[in-house]
Amino acid sequence: MIYYIRRIHRKKGDFDMYTVRFQLELSESEKRFLSKSFFYANQMHNQLVRYATNRLNALFHDKEYVGARKAYGEAEFSKKKVSELSASEKKKKKELSNIMCIKQKEYDLTKTSLCKFVSKEQKKFKNYINSHQAQAEAEAVYKGVEKVLFEDGRHLHYRRYNSFDCIKQKCAATGVRLLRWDTICFMKHYYKVRVPKNEYIQNIISSVDLKEDVVYSFLKRIEFNSGFKYYVVITLRGDTPKRIELSKDGGHRTGVDFGTSTIATVSNNEVHLEELAPESAKYEKEIRHKQNLVDASMRKHNPENYNKNGTVKKGKHKWKTTKRCRRLKRQVRVLYRKQSAYIKTSHHTFINRVVQNTSEFILEPMNFKALQKKSKKTKRQDKAVSIKQKDGSLKMVHKYKRKKRYGHSIKNRSPGLMQADLKSKATQYGIPYYEIDIHQYRASQLHHDTGEYIKPTLSERFKTIEGHRVQRDLYSAFLICHTDDTLTAPNFKACHFDFPHFAKMQDTLISNKKKCGQTMKHCFGF
């Protein structure tokens, strides 16, 4: 893809921004120069991490700091508001905070000290990286230091050369400078930018002032099977350009029901039941095959690093890798990137289709992170199963229930990402976005004809409502669509009135999907 447009989520008080990504047209010598720049930037990052890690280790061995931090945590000051604290507690909090702040400065764990350190390192690579880009890298590392000191961060992470994909920037005046739309300047070298000639991009170019609207630009690289390709990412001031034409009649309220691998949407004029990223499993299969080949190659050429049972020996080892193995590893990384890009494209395609005819979104919020984790409880099955013993006798046993949940499905489908993208798209187009109260209103269990909450089993994909057989996910979306103004209960009058029309649209959708072969027995029920 030559260009790519992304909206930047703004913080309170900030102005709207969006990014445009264009590919660079490079000769072999220019590629070598940029490759060196990324290599030295990666080295600086790892040197900063090493320096900051040593400083953190020294700080955490300081008894005075450890004591103050422990006392601060035991008092739970971070969980309390300032208004809830007494005068003595405020005084104690200030004393402990001052001790920790002084110790942090004493051990050079400030943004200024990291910038001073990196300025000395940058002089070694001054022909490839400028001081502003080095400082931007120092600020990025300092964010990691803050997470370790003040949040739940455990340690800083080094970056491998292959995973280091961008040279950061602080402003538009230094580093990567956009001279014209088709030319950039980086370290006194000029590079040609491949600008598409389609109408959408040309409208953006004509509406942007290069001197005022460009916030900053930075270099990015993406790995392909043939090697790295280099891009310039331009951050522009203003609203994200809109490509979707909304319905002239204003659209309809749309209820959305998310599953781990499906999405259902219902409005007064259309219904959708789609599988999320249906082709993602093909990428997963190919990745697994390549990884098996890599593992076989590593075991063949490094037998001394493995135990007899096939596990890796403890401790540090030297690993021999062949050209074929390195090529396979690159192919695996590329496949992961392609899978990620495909999932995002699939999500955006569906969201754009739904947004066109929507006046407001109502959905049931889902915590997919919790569903991704394994169960911590160990339980046995209710049903007893006969197991054959060594002596030939049969024994009735209650087997353990599986602790697995939906980790694999969520990884391949990314429903949480789609939920976030839907909210972002609604905000961009000024479409109201509401979430029902799941503690009071359980749409997946409600029967509007009786008003009862009946919890179905996972295998029950259809319900009988008002004598009509309805698909479970579509019916949940229907109830969410007909939520009252409080978002805590359905509008029963509207449900009874609109249900026959919904039933007809559902039957038409299911019959069309069966004809096209777009079925998914374990999720759709057909």
Q: Give average pLDDT by consecutive 10-residue segment, the chain, 526 residues.
A: 59 71 95 95 95 94 91 81 82 89 92 93 91 92 93 90 90 86 92 90 88 90 94 90 84 91 92 93 94 95 93 92 95 95 94 92 88 82 84 84 81 91 91 91 89 87 90 93 90 92 92 88 84
Same domain flag for 151 and 14: yes
Same domain flag for 158 and 198: yes
Say what the pLDDT of residue 39 is: 95
Output the pTM of the full model: 0.87
Same domain flag for 156 and 28: yes
Considering its fold, how many domains does the chain have in total?
2
Say what the pLDDT of residue 12 is: 46
β-pairing, 433-435 vs 214-224, is unpaired
Say what the pLDDT of residue 219 is: 94
Is 447 a member of any domain? Answer: yes
Q: Rounded to an integer, what distance in angstroms lies between the CA atom of residue 523 and that of residue 505?
A: 19
Is 244 a member of any domain? Answer: no
Is 371 a member of any domain? Answer: yes
Is 339 a member of any domain? Answer: yes
Same domain flag for 279 and 337: yes
Is 301 a member of any domain? Answer: no
Same domain flag for 258 and 119: no
Hunting for tokens 């009135």 — which residue is that? Answer: 497
Same domain flag for 218 and 337: no
Q: Of 179, 210, 237, which residue is a domain's last?
A: 237
The phi, psi pair for 320, rounded to 5°, reads: -95, 130
Same domain flag for 463 and 336: yes
Report CA 394 to chain centroid distance, whole Å: 50
Same domain flag for 152 and 275: no
DSSP 228: E
Contact 254, 425 (CB under 8 A): no
Closest CA to 181 of 24, 290, 53, 72: 24
Q: What domain range is 114 assigned to? A: 3-62+107-237
The phi, psi pair for 164, rounded to 5°, reads: -85, 105
Residue 194 three-state SS: strand
Is 357 a member of any domain? Answer: yes
Q: Of 237, 267, 300, which residue is a domain's last?
A: 237
Same domain flag for 221 and 344: no
H-assigned helices in 262-322: 280-301
Is 121 a member of any domain? Answer: yes
Same domain flag for 123 and 186: yes
Instruction: Quote the radius of gyration of the chain (alpha carbons, Å).
Output: 29
Structure tokens at 461: 């994909």
Same domain flag for 185 and 272: no
Same domain flag for 256 and 141: no
Say what the pLDDT of residue 311 is: 93
Say what the pLDDT of residue 406 is: 81
Say what the pLDDT of residue 3 is: 56
Count of CB atoms situated within 10 Å of the CB of 124: 13
Is 92 a member of any domain? Answer: no
